[in-house]
Amino acid sequence: MILRKQYSLLIHSLILIVSACVIALIIASIPVNAQLYSNQQQIGTSPSTTIGEQTLIRMEPVKLDGRTLFMIAGMGSNDGKETASLDNRVDFIEDALYKFLKEDFNVESLRVEVHDKGDHTKIVASDNGNFKDVPLFILTPLDARVAGFTLAESSNYIATATEKALKKGWQERQTNYLEKQVKFSIILVLIGLFVSSIIWLWQHKIKQREAILREQKMECDRKITENTMSVEMDEDEEHSSGFCQKLATEQLHNRQMLDRKGLQRYLLQVTQGAIWIGIIAWILELFPYTRAWRGTVLQLPLLFGVLLLAIAAAKWSGILVDRTLEKWLRYRQNLSPEAIERWLLRANSFAPIIKSIMATLIIIIAVLFVLSQLGIPLTPILAGAGILSLAISLGSQRLIADLISGTLILIEDQYAIGDFVTLNDNSFGRVERLNLRSTALRNRQGNLITLSNSDIKQVNNLSKDWARSKLYIPVHFSANVDIAIKVLEQVIEDMKADDFWNSLIQEAEVRGVEDIDGYGFTVGVRFQTKPGIFRKVIREYRRRLKPAFDQANIRFAERPVYQSGQVNN
């Protein structure tokens, strides 16, 4: 067992370390703008600055091999003409840089210099070989003014950054560099396959555990169904109400364990997907020809990952609700065992509703966040959702009535999942599903009866608080009345002396002679028991009464005068 725990801890640690490394490398591989870009961003929170009502100053990045070198500025307007001009200027500069990279220049002697032209500066490239003052692009005073520099300062910085980028671009296009990156890519893929195989084995182990839990849950459901379908709820110990509550508790525990295992498997699947997306983005980052695609590969998966993490958070919130309820019950030492069992049944009823509400809120927040990141305005969506909600509320008054009735059923604890109830005097069964809209009962024939909560007008709960039954014993007229009553009382005392039956009986008394006729007289015996087990107590009392009457030579009347009845509360 210790070795198994150590092995599991080692595997968990390995996966967490690898996942953390991949995430850190993804974050580290996101393009970091040059210092000039940071200084340019200091003038405002947006890459566009308004001057007047119609004119804008826009900034766009110039990139080489997916890396931002510097920012250039241009005048924009609402008609978009100047914006297109700035985009064309960016494309022209990038094309000039890529075109120069294809030339056979001397990288050791490469120099990128600034030629001052008065109202602008020209950035040129030269080497000691075939190239001298090759024009690359032009910088304007607006480029420097927006960045907060003079034209000379901005030009010198951009020239230095361009020279470093051209040298690095040339080096990354050499055969030995590309071969090394290909080998490293293969290593990354092998590592990904190794980690994925470990995660797959881990998932397989969790699936096996889930299969066992499902079998246990199905067995528990089968026992509860058999208990519901029996003609007498308390035919034996397994069909008693207490045993049914224990089954409901076991069912709740199995469901919680299934939720936890499902969350673990889901997180492993998300981790596996994140690892491969990270590896693909890392490989794209290694090569200058594919580095520009890395942002496209990462953007949508990262936004989709927000939704996946929101789903995981929703699942985790459900587990948190179960744990909170369990801890609350565990520390309620002042509650009796019956009260704890009752709270477990209630928790099994309203916990799914709390989970669904929390999950819905989390998913909605995540969807709104993703939409905002995609540039979709949220105000019209929220306004439309409000109008739609109002329309639904006006057109679905029956649904609102169901929701209100379901809320009152839960708050007032009229019944809970696992209770045996009779609804509206004609629907009997065990409560199998309960939500704010409807209630589902499983009757003795195994049929599932579903009722809208607003249609439930009368509830007869056979599993709550206590039950009372009155038994009528027909005694032959030849028997002595006082002796017969003493024998009946002695049988009650014998049952109370038994610890098992004493725990089920709350009150028991012989009421006296209820009726008399030519066949004999009838003695009434009343029992008050725990809910749902009064028939079990009555059957045991009858079993003990027969030999007690035989020993006292007391005969039963030839036919009973009354049938046994019951009063429940």
Q: Which two tokens stand for residue 4?
A: 């198994």
What angle in degrees, to the nearest 10, is found between the helix axes of 337-373 and 294-330?
Answer: 160
Reported as a single tens digit per residue, the pLDDT across 244-276 is 556 656 666 777 788 888 888 888 888 888 888
Among 128-132, 397-401, 506-510, 550-554, where is mean pLDDT lowest?
397-401
| Residue 56 to residues 62, 82, 90, Cα–Cα distance (Å) | 19, 9, 17
Distance CA 463, CA 221 (A): 18
Residue 22 has pLDDT above 60, yes or no: no
Residue 18 has pLDDT above 80, yes or no: no
* pTM as predicted: 0.56
Domains, the chain, ordered by start:
40-172 (no CATH), 182-376 (no CATH), 379-463 (2.30.30.60), 467-568 (3.30.70.100)
pLDDT band at 332 (very low <50, low <70, confident <90, very high): low
Q: Looking at residue 456, what DSSP letter applies?
A: -
Reported as a single tens digit per residue, the pLDDT across 458-505 is 888 777 777 777 888 899 888 888 898 999 889 888 888 888 888 888
- For residue 137, give the H/E element and its range: strand 134-139
- Residue entry with tokens 């369990």: 326
Name 428's bridge partners.
422
Helices (H), 374-475: 378-395, 397-412
Residue 236 has pLDDT above 60, yes or no: no
In sequence order, the 6+-apart residues with CB closer than 8 A to the CB of 93 are 62, 72, 136, 137
Cα angle 181, 187, 188; round to 5: 90
pLDDT band at 127 (very low <50, low <70, confident <90, very high): confident
pLDDT recorded at residue 194? 93
pLDDT recorded at residue 463? 73
Report which of residues 462 and 555 the model is more confident about. Answer: 555
3-state secondary structure of 510: strand
Residue 303 near residue 370, CB atoms below 8 Å: yes
pLDDT recorded at residue 190? 94
Residue 151 has pLDDT above 50, yes or no: yes
pLDDT recorded at residue 272? 87
pLDDT recorded at residue 193? 93
pLDDT band at 79 (very low <50, low <70, confident <90, very high): low
Average pLDDT over residues 211-226: 73
Residue 75 has pLDDT above 50, yes or no: yes
pLDDT band at 224 (very low <50, low <70, confident <90, very high): low
Give 181-246 as a 3 state SS string: HHHHHHHHHHHHHHHHHHHHHHHHHHHHHHHHHHHHHHHHHHHHHHHHHCCCCCCCHHHCHHHHHH
Q: Which of 106, 96, 97, 152 is nearest to 126 (CA)?
A: 106
